[in-house]
Amino acid sequence: MKKLRKIISALMVCSMLSSGVRGMDLNETQQKTLAAVAVTAAVGIPLIVILKKIFSNKGIKAFDKKEQTWIKFLMGEQIDDKSFRFNSCNEFRTASNNDLEGYHDFIQVVFPNLEKSGYANQDLYLNKNLKKWQDLMQDLEIRLKIQENLRLNLIRILTFFGFEVTLGDSSKIIKLKAKTDGVAFKPGNHNGLRLTRVLICLKIFGLNREHQLIIDSINSNKEIMKLVNGNSTLKTSYGFWLNSRKNACLF
């Protein structure tokens, strides 16, 4: 309704300006251009952008009900869907380490990837509707909210994986230290694959700085690298971690 009022106001301004410019020595094209520029300045937002958002097949409503719930979850909203392990990102962040180790159905929801997971919520993956996701992420407000929540989710999963996280202002990670007692560096478990999905997600959503911090903290820890080189499973996971650098930012 608020957007509609802006459109109506803009159209009224356009009408008044059109009447005013008719008396000037301008051709029809110049009159229309002048009126459009004046409207943009008057309402503070390009009219064409408002109309495009309202009347195009973009935004959250372009997705099915399940995906709409997922998007709201990623934006930090409370949801009500029993098929999701957590009802909000905040609930995920306050979960215990035992819960995060025991549950196998949340990584693909909390850290979106292109391909489906082999576990629960197999219908939630980006390649299912990639073009719609790219359209959705053109909305700056939505993109920033999702990126913000991904950063906060990342802090929690890194502490679970066994990283020492140093935060600055606005919960910004300023330093990471990988620790040998972290679950991501124990041979033979599933957390190496989980870390791979996290790293790929960061690249997809443009969180390149956070991605590089993780890789650097692993590479700079001689004890971690000794563990990696001494175990074939960890070495395979490490290869996936490095390979995640090739993923392009899609949003």
pLDDT at 118: 82
Contact (Cβ atoms closer than 8 angstroms) between residue 114 and residue 125: yes
Could you read off the pLDDT of 136-167 as tens digits, one per residue? 999 999 999 999 999 999 999 999 999 999 99
pLDDT at 188: 83
pLDDT at 35: 54
pLDDT at 117: 87
For 177, which DSSP code?
A: E
Contact (Cβ atoms closer than 8 angstroms) between residue 36 and residue 21: no
Assessment of whether the complete model's pTM goes beyond 0.85: no
| Residue whose entry in the numeric block shows the structure tokens 């998007």 | 71
The one-letter amino acid at 249: C
177 phi, psi to nearest 5 deg:
-135, 120
pLDDT band at residue 55 under the 50/70/90 scheme: very low
What's the CA dihedral at 221, 226, 227, 232 to 10 degrees? 130
Could you read off the pLDDT of 1-17 as tens digits, one per residue? 555 555 555 445 445 44
Q: How far apart are the first and last CA of the chain?
A: 28
pLDDT band at residue 185 under the 50/70/90 scheme: very high
Rounded CA-CA distance 233/162 in Å is: 18
Residue 137, both tokens = 């992420």
Contact (Cβ atoms closer than 8 angstroms) between residue 166 and residue 176: yes
